[in-house]
Amino acid sequence: MIPSSYPSKEEIARLTARMLLEIQAVHFNADEPFILASGLPSPTYIDCRKLISHPRIRSTLMDFLTVTVMRNAGFEAFDNIGGGETAGIPFAALVAERMALPMTYVRKKPKGYGRNARIEGEMTEGQRVLLVEDLTTDGGSKLSFVDAIRETGADCGHTAVIFYYGIFPETEKTLGDHGVQLHHLCTWWDVLTEARAQGAFDTETLNGVESFLKDPRAWQAANSK
């Protein structure tokens, strides 16, 4: 079923943040920072992979993501849904089912044997592909997936994620310069607001997180070993 009528963007953001907190996908720890894939420290960590084990929340968020994309990009804007390896694969499949479109997935690198392919499934020249992933931080990792899609002769001008950090100002410029528009459900600011409303963490922890969100690069420089 293709969803067509859902809450406002603001309510979707609030509800998404609430669901992520409910399943304990949100982790805050300023005393012992998490190390991100970039190697930099962060007092925040989000695990969107947990969503696949919670069917009611998973279904609701996939409805939200589908309707967000259709509202922003159009109801007939895509011919194929591509998932980024690995976290994006289940979410791409669920969005593709809702939009009644073919689904493919994109490897991080060629598998090294057989066809040595990066695209699994059927993607053809001229198709308009929506890249789906679980989250984005600074947008950089999306570019390799987009390039792999474009190498097939398909077009990829949109990417959709459940969670967008929303704290690095260069992210949307990085994607925009590459001809890609970002669609998302919520950011760290939405999660922080909902966490305060719920009293989900103590005030000191939340204040420490807010300090990071306001100037993440300075926080990382001060807390790097």
Asked if residue 222 belongs to a domain, the reply is no
pLDDT digits over 133-173, tens only?
999 988 888 999 999 999 999 999 999 999 999 999 899 99
Q: How many domains does the chain have?
A: 1
Asked if residue 216 belongs to a domain, the reply is no
Domain ranges, residue 96: 9-208
Provide the pLDDT for residue 32: 87
Q: What is the gyration radius of the CA atoms in the chain, in angstroms?
A: 18
Report the alpha-carbon distance of residue 92 to residue 11 in Å, rounded: 23
CATH for 68: 3.40.50.2020
pLDDT digits over 94-111, tens only?
999 999 999 999 999 887
- What average pLDDT does the structure give for the chain? 93
For the cut 80, the answer to whether the pLDDT of residue 5 exceeds it is no
Asked if residue 116 belongs to a domain, the reply is yes
pLDDT class of 40 with cuts at 50, 70, 90: confident
Query: pTM for the whole thing?
Result: 0.93
pLDDT digits over 188-208, tens only?
999 999 999 999 999 999 999
